A and B are shown apart, each in its own frame.
Chain A
Amino acid sequence: MNRPNSIFEEVLGTLPDRQRELVEAAYALLEHGSGPVHRQFLPALSDATSRERLEELLRRTGRTLVTVDQLHFTSGFDDAVRTELTEMGWQPLSLADRAVLVLVLVHSVAIPRSEEQIAADSWESPYPTTLQDVTRDSKVPVGEVRAALGRLTSCGLLRTVRGGDHDSGYVPGPQLSRLTPAAREQLQDQLILAAAPDHPLAAAIRERRHNRVGGQR
């Protein structure tokens, strides 16, 4: 019942049927998969023309190919599109949702990372944040925290882990693997500014940003 998509026609129109099918399938797997996809499912990546068309298809729809490791790939927001939308004030998450997400990232990633338990550029964490961690000293009311945790989990920004009494809680979800290297770096900087504003690292980040803004003028 869907009519032809003009972007797909423009980008893939000249490809032979079989090649077009593989590029469309790769687009579907990258965009709709719950997490990174093994390259054995993505034959379009092995062929230069197909890969180029796939990347063009992603770019035209506001996305980009993200390499997770040698074998796994996913898609994420194009850095230029993300920057432009952010500058326009686009923000689909509510204030409470963002506050709760930051608290989970601080407990599950920033603290273990500062103790060198998690690699510098990784957003996967085996350290769950409990409901108590989020509500302790929090300005967000408990009811709102619960609702926010539910929403963040259902959209894949968080994931629940169940274990013994001490191991169940929330960790960063599969959507975090869709961050581009630039987005990961920016999130890491923001997390340092939020969790340790007085740390020398935070001062260095502010200095770097100040210089960057100054350099653009």
Chain B
Amino acid sequence: MNERDAALWWARIRSGGPQQVSAGGPTPAGLRRLVEADAKAVWLIPNLPDSAGPAVLIEYGVPGSSMMDSKGTLRVLAATLRCCWPDPATDPWPGLPASTGHVGEVLRRLVPGRNKVSRQQLLSAGLRRLSVSGWVLLEATDTVRIGPRIASFGSLELSTLRELWRLIPDTPEDRSEGS
């Protein structure tokens, strides 16, 4: 693959998020392959050194394009990570699939005071927003996985994520739901 083709792949990912390709193809320069659990497909994401990643912005005090949690979307992401990343000592990708019911149960502890209907709305709207940008993958109507974008976190961000993971209480999947 030549320089121009690699640049096109970088631009596709920048504009359209992580790109899924068949497992047999070449890896464009500077990108990373994330192999799916069934090894039939791979996702391409940028392989940026930490020294050229978003963490540099904090060092320089320059604002980045952070996601606002005004609608509770980040809590939905946190709950998904808690369910789909069983062992924070490992890399989050590819993680394990979780039922949206399980994610909803964990979310219940993160948004105290919300009733069941409002929490359900938050969960489905949040998952939809997160799946558009590749933070989560919606498998079937009720199954969710970690999205390929999570794998682009640098080591600094991952250690923060691990600390947060430990703060989020897990909830058994099959517990009956109160409101």
Contacts and interface: CB of A to CB of B under 8 A. Distances in A.
Interface of A: 1-8, 21, 24-25, 27-29, 31-35, 37, 41, 59-63, 77-78, 81-82, 84-85, 90, 92, 150-151, 154-156, 174
B86 interface: no
A24 B49 contact: yes
Interface of B: 3-4, 6-12, 14-17, 29-30, 32, 46-57, 59-60, 62-67, 91, 129, 132-133, 154-155, 158
Q: What is the interface of chain B mostly: helix, strand, loop, or mixed? A: helix
Contacts of B16: 90, 92
Given A1-B155, A24-B51, A81-B8, A29 B60 contact: yes
B62 A37 contact: yes
A84 to B, nearest CB: 6
B26 to A, nearest CB: 12
Of listed A7, A81, A85, A151, residue having the most chain B CB within 10 A = A7
Given A6-B30, A32-B64, A61 B56 contact: no
Nearest to B67: A154
Contact of A77 (B11, B50, B62, B65): B11
Contacts of A25: 51-52, 56, 59-60
A1 B7 contact: no
A6 B29 contact: yes
Contact of A33 (B51, B63, B129): B63
B29 A27 contact: no
B150 to A, nearest CB: 12
A100 to B, nearest CB: 15
Given A25-B51, A41-B60, A2 B11 contact: no
A7 B11 contact: no
Given A2-B49, A34-B66, A41-B60, 8 more contacts: A29-B57, A32-B65, A35-B63, A37-B62, A60-B3, A63-B14, A150-B129, A151-B132
A3 B52 contact: no
21 contacts: A3-B32, A5-B49, A7-B6, A21-B51, A24-B52, A25-B52, A25-B60, A28-B51, A28-B54, A28-B56, A29-B56, A29-B57, A29-B60, A32-B65, A33-B64, A34-B65, A78-B7, A85-B8, A150-B129, A154-B129, A156-B65
Nearest to B53: A28
Given A32-B56, A41-B60, A154-B129, A8 B49 contact: yes
Contacts of A151: 132
A1 B30 contact: no
A2 to B, nearest CB: 5
Contact of A2 (B6, B7, B17, B50): B50
Nearest to A81: B11
